[in-house]
Chain A
């Protein structure tokens, strides 16, 4: 079955000042699939992830060569509104980072920032996003309590709900479960399986088992280069590249 390509990098190079962190990356991200980016620390996977919604623009001295597209359109084109790009390509970080506001306001925040003023609509979207993030039942009686009172796992799902509230196309997840206990991790992983029906998900993870469990496609990065990308099943049963095999079987690093 041919998959629609949601995002694509073509011959992408990325520099932190004079340091070239990504070399000639060409990678297609399939719509409504989960793509896992794996590789040792410093291999460029998180840098690549942050390129996808231009989060690296916030770091002074960075530079991008090559092309990155969302639905076929170059995200570096002058007419692209970066705020709108980040609405369409949302992000969830390693550590849950709720705002010091109520549960409700955390999720409503993105909508308000995007100019939505209709309170009934906002309330409806907040509930929907919390349900999508599999959190609503746990917080429905605490909507106006501080989000900081939630457990770590709940806070991370709140951050996912916050990302979903603005109806993104793509959700980037940077080690979303690395700070969570196994039960909370399991909930996030189950959630990813559900969310991919409606969103395209790209996840950076250091847990190879997690990549194997949640993703459809896996891309292995090493020293700023994309070494191999394939179906996750193929990567974890018979990878083509010796470096990939050595990494996933723990024979180096």
Chain B
């Protein structure tokens, strides 16, 4: 028999809301990347407008978590779920912000002649998206193996972003580089930086999942335990 069923029902609701927020953040990333690669200013503006909903959810989840801490005084797994949820909310809100930054770049790109996204940035976008998907799935299923896999992916993301930056520098150094190519390159570097940050946040979500399930903190050393 569950002696605190009302509280545990609230915890389930908290998890459902977190997953909904994760879904919104994931969609923001996906659409911002589509807007960026397709130079689609309208879609980019949609991403920017929808960020308010992610921010609103952050406030709502914060309020719920504080209320549960103050009134229900959770312990053990329940405590870790509330505290972990608060950490994850912050990370998801930041994912939304970075997606918004990518969308802003897409609006600038839409004013330039169409050109394909660089292969390296495309790869970075694919890997970061995969990482965020896996981090959210790991949280949803409480899957430690998947969470550890996300942690292992983080180093590769930083390396790939360095290559995006190096490609841009090489291109700028070429005498044939036009001002438009330079501007495009600048937007790609900024988008690359945002993607790297989203990779960091996905890593944080995986760490938080491990904390919630096992009660072990692996922050700042993101390695399998």
> Does any Cβ of A come within 8 Å of B221's Cβ?
no
B1 & A238 in contact (Cβ 8 Å cutoff): no
> Does any Cβ of A come within 8 Å of B174's Cβ?
no
Contact partners of B216 in chain A: CB under 8 A: 238
Size bin of chain B's contact surface? 10 to 19
Count of chain A residues with a beta carbon within 8 Å of a chain B beta carbon: 16
B75 & A249 in contact (Cβ 8 Å cutoff): yes
Contact partners of A245 in chain B: CB under 8 A: 76-77
> Does any Cβ of B come within 8 Å of A143's Cβ?
no
B75 & A236 in contact (Cβ 8 Å cutoff): yes
Contact partners of B73 in chain A: CB under 8 A: 209
B2 & A237 in contact (Cβ 8 Å cutoff): no
Considering the chains assembled together, what is the distance between the CA atoms of A248 and B214 in angstroms? 17
* Residue in A239, A244, A251 whose CB lies within 8 Å of B4: A251
* Residue in B1, B7, B75 whose CB lies within 8 Å of A237: B75
Considering the chains assembled together, what is the distance between the CA atoms of A209 and B1 in angstroms? 21
B75 & A208 in contact (Cβ 8 Å cutoff): yes
> Does any Cβ of A come within 8 Å of B79's Cβ?
yes
B3 & A248 in contact (Cβ 8 Å cutoff): no
Contact partners of A244 in chain B: CB under 8 A: 76
Considering the chains assembled together, what is the distance between the CA atoms of A252 and B2 in angstroms? 5
Considering the chains assembled together, what is the distance between the CA atoms of A249 and B78 in angstroms? 7
24 contacts between A and B (CB under 8 A): A208-B75, A209-B73, A236-B75, A236-B76, A236-B79, A237-B75, A237-B79, A237-B80, A237-B215, A238-B216, A239-B76, A245-B76, A245-B77, A248-B75, A249-B76, A250-B2, A250-B4, A250-B7, A250-B8, A251-B3, A251-B4, A251-B8, A252-B1, A253-B3
